[in-house]
Amino acid sequence: MNKRNEKPRTLKSVLRIPYEMAQGPAWTHFFEGFKQKKILGTKCNECGRVLIPARPFCPRCFEPMEEWVEVAQEGTIVTWSYVNYTYFGVTADMIPQVPVTVKLDGTDCGWWGGLIGGFDVKNFDLVNKKVKVGGRIKAVWRDKVEGNMYDIDHWEIIK
Amino acid sequence: MGRMGRAVAVIGTGQTKHGRRDDVSYPDLVREAIQAVFEDAGITIQDVDAIVYGSMPSMMEGVAFNHFYMADALRAVGKPLLRTETCGSTGQSIAQTGIYWVASGMADIVLVVGSEKQHEGDAQATMMTIPDKITLPMVGGAPVAFSMQSREWMGYFNIDEAKAREAAAIVSVDCHDGGLNNPLAHIQMKVTKEEVMNAKIITYPVRLLDVCPSSDGACAVLFASKDKARKICKKPAWVKGMGFRGEEYYTGDSNKAVWQSTIGAAQEAYKQAGITDPRKELDVAEIYNPFTYHELMFMECLGLCPPGEAPDYVIDGVFSPDGELPCNPSGGVLCTNCIGATGLIRLAEAARQVTGKAGPMQVEGAKLALSHAMGGLEQFNAVTIIGSKL
Ligand SMILES: [Zn+2]
């Protein structure tokens, strides 16, 4: 196909695009709760479910979720993984890391909301011994909270 | 849902050589699949009424509205052109869009094309924009999301870790053997169970040889009405049924071990195809398996074995090449993942199987085949059943 013996070139390029994403009243209040180290869920008056992150409306009933409920900061592990590769936004010094989905007491959903910590999570054998589906964890907040998803520093294993 | 409208046939398929394709531009790559599909069907662009195209989100390869970038390569100039995208299930979604078009009677022959050139961008960076940045900023990377699902499934059914590990290794060995039979596959290498089980952990329980490659490639399929198909094509394949289901946004809202959108899409497709016992009635299945553990979960949700028992069935060889229902004889997504094309490749391979055109990958006497794909973190599932008889 290429009779000219030229190695086909590639063009290297980077795009940077800024955004400004509206958080709406429900997520705004949810993160105001974080500023007081509280986890606030919303309750649906149709199906009775309490969901986090807080929702403006129930995904199943389509009704507004206007009742706020403070939920426990402890819960049960639904699933976890041990991430041992880097990808966009995750640098070599950040891995291995252990993301977790937790079902907090008083809620009706799992919440993929952060990483397990509080011990040497880079040690896989230790992680696989300590972290269990069905095991119990609790939120450990950062000292300085800013009202965003990074305010929970990590989830700590409790017996 | 339920009625299929007019009967729809597959009258041709075409694929590129998949792999790292920086030898050609993106439109050049798409043109390769277009040439192949017209050669296979023995018709020209003049016979085509409309075109459907899809890929991952445009930002994946740095050109927005890439169906415009592809317009000439797609031969879409002066024709109706639709773009459909649902992430990993894009290939199935564009097929179903084309099928709707023919089934409705609004078009007689539709060209459906899916493509990806993963090496031109940062696929994982694009995928990190699939969840929102407000409430799910740290949810990223397909391997992470899919491994979380796998661990949930193992935990929910209390599946022995070693047993799941062995079954996933068998899936990897079978797929890599399939890839060796597929001259177009990206990955062509022999692996052993031991190599898979001892490979480097990527996202536990997933190890390196449980993971698909990032591929460049394209696939094109021509769909036709019954009358046109009978005139043009000696041996068409037929669309017997199709299903598509969406899922809630937040991953934790529902259980992924019993994955409702997969189950719903499969049940809808089976109902239309008149299938009541899929494992017995299907002859071959092309299941979306970018990760081996995913295939195990999908075997269950597609109703090919009871929930929680896929590892037992796989270890018994039920889904291996000589088993009751061979899965992914093409090597599957595990050997080739040009994402926008991936779901369409599943359908193309299903059509080649039921028309006896699958070459070294051929499952002897295959008459009824399943194709499947999943997209988003978990939000979309699609199933299309292809058969040799109308
Ligand atoms: Zn509700």
Write down the domain spans for chain B: 8-123+212-387
Summarised one tens digit per residue, pLDDT across range A126-149 is 999 999 999 999 999 999 999 999
Looking at residue B109, its pLDDT comes to 98
Are B84 and B52 in contact, with CB atoms under 8 Å apart? yes
HSE-up (13 A, CA, CB side) for residue B246: 7
Mean pLDDT, to the nearest integer, of B225-252? 96
State the ipTM, two decimals. Answer: 0.94
Residues of A with Cβ-Cβ distance to B252 under 8 angstroms: 78, 101, 103, 109-112
Residue A154 — φ and ψ, nearest 5°? Answer: -165, 175
The confidence score (pLDDT) of residue B378 equals: 87
Token pair listed for A130? 């300590």
Q: What distance in Å separates the CA atoms of residue B216 and residue B188, rounded to the nearest whole number?
A: 15
Q: Å from B154 to nearest chain A CA?
A: 9
Sign of CA dihedral B259, B262, B266, B267: positive
Residues A98, A82 contacting (CB under 8 angstroms) = yes
Asked whether residue B140 carries a pLDDT value surpassing 90, the answer given is: no
Question: Cβ separation of A133 and B155 shorter than 8 Å?
Answer: yes
Does the pLDDT of residue A39 top 90, yes or no? Answer: yes
What number of other Cβ atoms are within 10 A of residue B78's Cβ? 8
Rounded Cα–Cα distance for residues B225 and B107 (Å): 8
Give the strands of the sheet with B284-286, arranged side by side: B81-83, B50-54, B109-117, B216-225, B8-15, B237-246, B380-387, B368-375, B284-286
In chain B, what percentage of residues exceed pLDDT 70?
99
Report CA A36 to chain centroid distance, whole Å. Answer: 18
Name the average pLDDT for chain B: 96
Q: Residue B300 — very low, low, confident or very high, per pLDDT cuts 50/70/90?
A: very high
pLDDT at B4: 72
pLDDT at residue number B159? 98
Chain B residues bordering chain A (beta-carbon distance below 8 Å): 22-24, 59, 62, 120, 122, 124-125, 128, 132-141, 143-144, 147-149, 151-152, 154-156, 200-206, 248-253, 256
Average pLDDT value for residue range B112-126: 93
pLDDT at A113: 83
pLDDT at A88: 87
pLDDT average, residue stretch B272-284 = 98
User: What is the arithmetic mean of pLDDT over B294-312?
Assistant: 98
> SS3 letters for B291-304?
EHHHHHHHHHHCCC
What gap in Å lies between CA A120 and CA A123, rounded to an integer? 6
pLDDT value of residue B149: 95
CA distance B9 to B373: 20
Burial class, A21, CB count within 10 angstroms (exposed 0-12 / middle 13-18 / buried 19+) = exposed
**CB neighbours of A47 closer than 8 A, spacing ≥ 6?**
A58, A60, A61
Q: CB-based burial of residue A104 (10 Å sphere; 0-12 exposed, 13-18 middle, 19+ buried)?
A: buried
**Cβ contacts of B62 within 8 Å, gap of 6 or more:** A13, A15, B120, B121
Q: Which one is predicted more confidently, B365 or A89?
A: B365
Please enumerate in sequence order all residues whose Cβ is within 8 A of that of A32, keeping only pairs 6 or more positions apart, or say none: A147
Measured CB to CB, residues of chain A less than 8 Å from chain B are: 2, 8, 10, 13, 15, 19, 21, 23, 27, 30, 51, 53, 59-60, 78-85, 87-90, 96, 99, 101, 103, 109-112, 114-115, 124, 127-128, 132-134, 148-150
Residue among A21, A111, A127 whose CB faces B133 most closely = A21
Q: Choosing among B119, B202, B253, B258, which should be mutated to test the A contact, i.e. which has the most A CBs within 10 A?
A: B253
Does residue B93 have a pLDDT over 60? yes
Instruction: Give pLDDT, residue B3.
Output: 61
Nearest chain A Cα distance for residue B290, angstroms: 16
| Residue B24, helix vs strand vs coil | coil
**Residue whose structure tokens are 């008889």:** B389
CB-CB contact of B298 with B306 (8 Å): no
Q: And the tokens for B36? A: 């192949």
CATH superfamily of B8-123+212-387: Thiolase/Chalcone synthase (3.40.47.10)
3-class secondary structure, B141: coil
Q: Report residue B6: phi and psi, to 5°.
A: -70, 150
The mean per-residue pLDDT over the stretch B88-94 comes to 98
Task: Return the structure tokens found at B185.
Answer: 């596959």
pLDDT averaged over every residue in chain A = 95
Structural contact between residues B12 and B48, judged by C-beta atoms closer than 8 angstroms: no
Whether residue B202 and residue A90 make contact (CB cut-off 8 A), yes or no, is no
In chain A, % of residues over pLDDT 90 = 91
Q: Is the pLDDT of residue A1 over 60?
A: no
Minimum CA–CA partner of A88 in chain B: B125
Residue B22 has pLDDT above 50, yes or no: yes
Per-residue confidence (pLDDT) for residue A106, from 0 to 100 = 97
Q: For B157-193, what is each residue's pLDDT tens digit?
A: 999 999 999 999 999 999 999 999 999 999 999 999 9
Greatest pairwise CA separation for chain A in angstroms:
71
- For the stretch B318-329, pLDDT in tens is 999 999 999 999
Crossing angle between the packed helical segments B339-354 and B90-103, to the nearest 10 degrees: 60
User: For B7-11, B126-130, B331-335, which range has the lowest pLDDT when averaged over its residues?
Assistant: B126-130
User: What would the mean pLDDT of B85-92 be, rounded to a whole number?
Assistant: 97
pLDDT number for residue B137: 86
Q: Which residues pair with B285 in a beta bridge?
A: B327, B370
For the segment B73-77, the average pLDDT, to the nearest whole number, is: 97
Q: What is the pLDDT of residue B1?
A: 43
Task: Yes or no: say if A120 and A61 are a contact pair by the CB < 8 Å rule.
Answer: no
pLDDT (0 to 100) of residue A2: 63
Q: Could you tell me if A109 and A43 are in contact, meaning their C-beta atoms sit under 8 angstroms apart? A: no
Residue B58's pLDDT band, with cuts at 50, 70 and 90, is confident
Name which of B202, B271, B276 is nearest B243 in CA terms.
Answer: B271
Q: Do the Cβ atoms of A88 and B155 come within 8 Å?
A: no
Task: Please give the model's pTM, rounded to 2 decimal places.
Answer: 0.97
- Kindly report the nearest CA distance between residue A20 and chain B, in angstroms: 10
